[in-house]
Structure 1
Amino acid sequence: MTDVHVQTVLQFMEQHAPKRLAVEGDPIGLQIGSVKKRASKIMITLDVLEPVVDEAVANGVDMIIAHHPLLFRPLKQLNTDTSYGRAVEKLIKHDITVFAAHTNLDVAEGGVNDMMADALGIRDTAALAPVTEEKFKKMVVFVPHDHADAVRNALGQAGAGHIGDYSHCSFSTEGKGAFIPGSGANPYIGTKGRMERPEEERIETIFPASLERKVIRAMLDAHPYEEAAYDIYSLDNPGRTYGLGRIGKLDQSVTLREFTERVKEAFGVNGVRVVGDLDKTITKAAVLGGDGNKYTMHALRQGADVYVTGDLYFHVAHDAWMEGLTMIDPGHHVEQIMKQALAEQLSSWLRDQKSTTEVIVSEINTDPFQFM
């Protein structure tokens, strides 16, 4: 067992929160440091502030994974007399790699917005504000009978054939292939220079376009032929929609007053800002981590009774109030829910990789606000 390479951790993050899901222009990914080094200790944080960097140095951290990018805007200068400049200087001096997963982690399945929705008991969720739609492709591959099950299973394990709550979905028909092995061939079936017509199965399955390379590799690894015959087709079938925020229903209707208490308890905050009648019945709820002002009308159009988000503007709250949409603002900082959840997910994956790398959670409170 050894410490994992940073590059390998980045591969995990790409699987967990693909960069393609990020909002255009979001400065995600590697921010500071090297991907070639090994990391014996990784720290998960919401923000990369100077006290968080000091915490990382004190704990011998090699890599920080943050939700909010440290380098959010292009640098015009790096003044090490400022707290920001000192933070960057310390990171470089102590060879700490910084990686940011921002809106891609918001949008991703199992990401920040799913974490928040689960914490609030919002079920049967859909994306509140669509960002992208996953396109589907179809693979057709021809396999001898004795390897058909192995190929089907390999495709399913690679992510093909997943439709709703069903996995390993495929369709097969039987027929005969035809080929003549050349003089340099090493055929699994047949004899060089002679026409062969083996009994084969035609296996069809669909997969998300983003998994194409993985699915092809899995099929080729399981297929017995030197040269597997397969086709890839682009489909017009509507794929899964990914987006910011979540909207869904509660298991049981509650009043806005009761739901507000649920928000406070779920996110560990002492106070929230509330817009609307506290006695209003809440059945359908929307949530969006961070600053969700510009998505208020999405919540209203989709029939939400309440919208939970941070950094609400006065006039946005006015508009929602007049349209009958209740709102709860627990603050931007409640996105910290991602710290423990991501640490557990990464730790589990590292154990599967037989890695000795340790994952810790930052204990620094980076919320600039206090309720008095």
Structure 2
Amino acid sequence: MPALAEYIAALEAAYPPALAESWDAVGLVCGDPAERVDRVLVCVDPVTATVDEAIERGAQLIVAHHPLLLRGVHGVPATTPKGRLVHRLIRAGIALYCAHTNADAASPGVSDALATALGLRSLRPLDPNPDGVTGIGRIGELPEPEPFSAFVERVAAALPRTEPGVLGAGDPDRPIRTVAVSGGAGDGYLAKAAEAGVDAFLTADLRHHPAGEHLEAGGPALVGVTHWASEWPWCAQASAVLSHAVAGTVDIHVSTRRTDPWLVRAGGGAQPDPVPREHIQ
């Protein structure tokens, strides 16, 4: 049975902590590197649902994308939500390791997993680091051009279902061949996508004003998905990293529990006048 330290070494080789943003909190949150681990849960969010799942499966390690303790804390009392999770993890003998912006920037990383799920090829960074290989986001090409409406359907078919679904902003008939993607909140990269001359940009957490101004300026069509859905494909990638790196028979499970916070969707409501087709970018 491999030690936790072997899993950490594999993760840090694939997702070097040096690639993390200065404000980020990555690495081992709790756990003893000398402890033996033969069951692992890989997930996007270290929250109650995934801690429950790890306990149910008898896992000794959770590998999560999002940090549990991103902002500084002065304690982890069990009277707070995050402190309660830390206490549950320690009592159950479960280590927690988080790979966040280092996994975003790595090659391959979060956006590679997203791009591959969509069938994009010839990938390169959207916002490259000086090495030209690592960096945030990816740009890739579809095998053949397709209408924007078909591309939005492609996204919906490739990613896990969420209540908000997949939203597209742009001319439904616009041909799409070159696509930029950025897993997680990516409207800070709208200008990069426009500069790259891509046909469409897919990311999460798009805000009204930046998205609207981007389209008014003639930028690429936009596809908006939920934060969790955009990063979930990375879980399989991280699972493969561990499977290939650690010796022995281990059970590495990708969580399918939806930890997206949006769980209820209402339809209907007042219908404003439709925007004329010629006014759609």
TM-score range with shorter-chain normalisation? 0.7 to 0.9
1:37 offset after TM fit, Å?
A: 1.1
1:85 offset after TM fit, Å?
A: 2.6
The 5-angstrom pairing of residues 290-369 of structure 1 reads: 290-324=184-218, 325-334=220-229, 335-350=231-246, 353=247, 355-369=248-262
Question: How many angstroms apart in 2 are the aligned matches of 1:245 and 1:126?
Answer: 8
Question: How many angstroms apart in 2 are the aligned matches of 1:263 and 1:40?
Answer: 34
Query: Is the CA contact 1:249–1:283 (under 8 Å) kept in the aligned structure 2?
Result: yes
Deviates more, 1:274-283 or 1:326-335: 274-283
Query: Is the CA contact 1:40–1:356 (under 8 Å) kept in the aligned structure 2?
Result: yes
Alignment RMSD (CA, Å): 1.6
* Aligned sequence identity (%): 34
1:254 offset after TM fit, Å?
A: 0.8
The 5-angstrom pairing of residues 1-372 of structure 1 reads: 3-130=1-128, 132-134=129-131, 240-269=132-161, 271-324=165-218, 325-334=220-229, 335-350=231-246, 353=247, 355-370=248-263, 371-372=265-266
Q: Deviations over 1:94-144 (max 9, x none)?
A: 2211101111112212221111111112221210012x334xxxxxxxxxx
Question: How many angstroms apart in 1 are the aligned matches of 2:154 and 2:117?
Answer: 9
Deviates more, 1:312-321 or 1:85-94: 85-94
Code of the residue aligned with 2:167 in structure 1: it is R
Query: Is the CA contact 1:113–1:246 (under 8 Å) kept in the aligned structure 2?
Result: yes
Question: How many angstroms apart in 2 are the aligned matches of 1:338 and 1:283?
Answer: 23
Q: Secondary structure at the match of 1:316?
A: helix
Code of the residue aligned with 2:224 in structure 1: it is D
Code of the residue aligned with 1:289 in structure 2: it is G
1:70 offset after TM fit, Å?
A: 0.9
Question: How many angstroms apart in 1 are the aligned matches of 2:174 and 2:77?
Answer: 51
Q: Secondary structure at the match of 1:241?
A: coil
1:28 offset after TM fit, Å?
A: 0.7
1:311 offset after TM fit, Å?
A: 0.3
1:259–1:363 CA distance, 2 compared to 1 (3 A) = closer
Q: Deviations over 1:289-332 (max 9, x none)?
A: 00001111000011011100000011111111112221001110
Query: Is the CA contact 1:4–1:356 (under 8 Å) kept in the aligned structure 2?
Result: no
Question: How many angstroms apart in 1 are the aligned matches of 2:145 and 2:256?
Answer: 35
Query: Is the CA contact 1:47–1:66 (under 8 Å) kept in the aligned structure 2?
Result: yes
| Aligned twin of 1:175 | none
TM-score after normalising by structure 2 = 0.88
Query: Is the CA contact 2:30–2:97 (under 8 Å) kept in the aligned structure 1?
Result: yes
Question: How many angstroms apart in 2 are the aligned matches of 1:339 and 1:121?
Answer: 17
Code of the residue aligned with 1:53 in structure 2: it is V
> Which of 1 and 2 has greater Rg?
1
Q: Secondary structure at the match of 2:183?
A: strand
1:258–1:301 CA distance, 2 compared to 1 (3 A) = same
Query: Is the CA contact 1:269–1:330 (under 8 Å) kept in the aligned structure 2?
Result: no
Code of the residue aligned with 2:261 in structure 1: it is P
Q: Secondary structure at the match of 1:4?
A: coil
Query: Is the CA contact 1:50–1:84 (under 8 Å) kept in the aligned structure 2?
Result: no
Query: Is the CA contact 2:145–2:175 (under 8 Å) kept in the aligned structure 1?
Result: yes
1:79 offset after TM fit, Å?
A: 4.2
Code of the residue aligned with 2:130 in structure 1: it is E
Question: How many angstroms apart in 2 are the aligned matches of 1:345 and 1:8?
Answer: 12
Between Structure 1 and Structure 2, the one with more strand by share is 1
Question: How many angstroms apart in 2 are the aligned matches of 1:246 and 1:11?
Answer: 25
